[in-house]
Amino acid sequence: MSYSIVVVAGARPNFMKIAPILSVLNREPEHFKPLLVHTGQHYDYQMSEVFFHDLEIQKPDAFLNVVRDHPAQQTADIIGKFDDFLVDNKPDLVIVVGDVTSTAACALAASKREIAIAHVEAGLRSKDRTMPEEITRIITDALSDVLFTYSQDADENLQAENVPENCIFRVGNLMIDTLFTFREKSKNSQILNKLLLDEKKYILATLHRPSNVDTPENLSNFVYVLENVSERIPIVFQLHPRTRERLKEFNLISQLEKLSNIILIGPQGYLDIIKLQENSCLALTDSAGIAEETTALKIPCLTMRENTERPVTILQGSNKLVGCEPENIIQATHKALNQTKDYPVPPLWDGRSAERLVNVLREGVPRRMRT
Is there a domain that residue 343 lies in?
no
User: Are 332 and 322 spatial neighbours (Cβ–Cβ below 8 Å)?
Assistant: yes
Is there a domain that residue 354 lies in?
yes
d(CA 297, CA 357): 23
- Residues annotated as catalytic are 208
253: CATH:
3.40.50.2000
If you write DSSP's letter for every residue of 228-286 in order, what string do you get? HHTTTS-EEEEEPHHHHHHHHHTT-HHHHHT-TTEEEE----HHHHHHHHHT-SEEEES
Is there a domain that residue 370 lies in?
no
User: Are 45 and 6 spatial neighbours (Cβ–Cβ below 8 Å)?
Assistant: no
User: In percent, how much of the chain has pLDDT > 90?
Assistant: 89
User: Are 112 and 82 spatial neighbours (Cβ–Cβ below 8 Å)?
Assistant: no
pLDDT tens column, 172-208: 999 999 999 999 999 999 999 999 999 999 999 999 9
Q: How many domains does the chain have?
A: 2
Same domain, residue pair 21 and 50: yes
Rounded to a whole number, what is the largest CA-CA distance in the chain? 63
Same domain, residue pair 147 and 293: no
Give me the amino acid identity at 38: H
Same domain, residue pair 137 and 10: yes
Same domain, residue pair 213 and 292: yes
Helices (H) and strands (E) counted in the chain, each on its own, are 17, 13
Is there a domain that residue 57 lies in?
yes
d(CA 171, CA 14): 17
Is there a domain that residue 86 lies in?
yes
Same domain, residue pair 265 and 356: no
Instruction: Tell if the pTM clears 0.75, that is, is over it.
Output: yes
Same domain, residue pair 159 and 192: no
Is there a domain that residue 327 lies in?
yes
d(CA 241, CA 262): 18
Is there a domain that residue 153 lies in?
yes
Is there a domain that residue 13 lies in?
yes
Same domain, residue pair 195 and 158: no
- Provide the residue-wise pLDDT of the chain in tens; the chain has 371 residues: 689 999 999 988 899 999 999 999 999 999 999 999 999 987 664 567 888 899 999 999 999 999 877 889 999 999 999 999 999 999 999 999 999 999 999 999 999 999 999 999 999 999 999 999 999 999 999 999 999 999 999 999 999 999 999 999 999 999 999 999 999 999 999 999 999 999 999 999 999 999 999 999 999 999 999 999 999 999 999 999 999 999 999 999 999 999 999 999 999 999 999 999 999 999 999 999 999 999 999 999 999 999 999 999 999 999 999 999 999 999 999 999 999 889 999 999 999 999 999 999 998 887 776 65
Which residues span the domain enclosing 297? 186-337
In 83-160 the beta strands, taken as DSSP E runs, fall at 93-97, 116-120, 146-149
User: Are 189 and 272 spatial neighbours (Cβ–Cβ below 8 Å)?
Assistant: yes
SS3 37: strand
CA-to-CA dists, residue 151 to 26, 89, 260, 283, angstroms: 26, 33, 41, 22
d(CA 134, CA 216): 25
pLDDT of residue 297: 97
Same domain, residue pair 81 and 105: yes
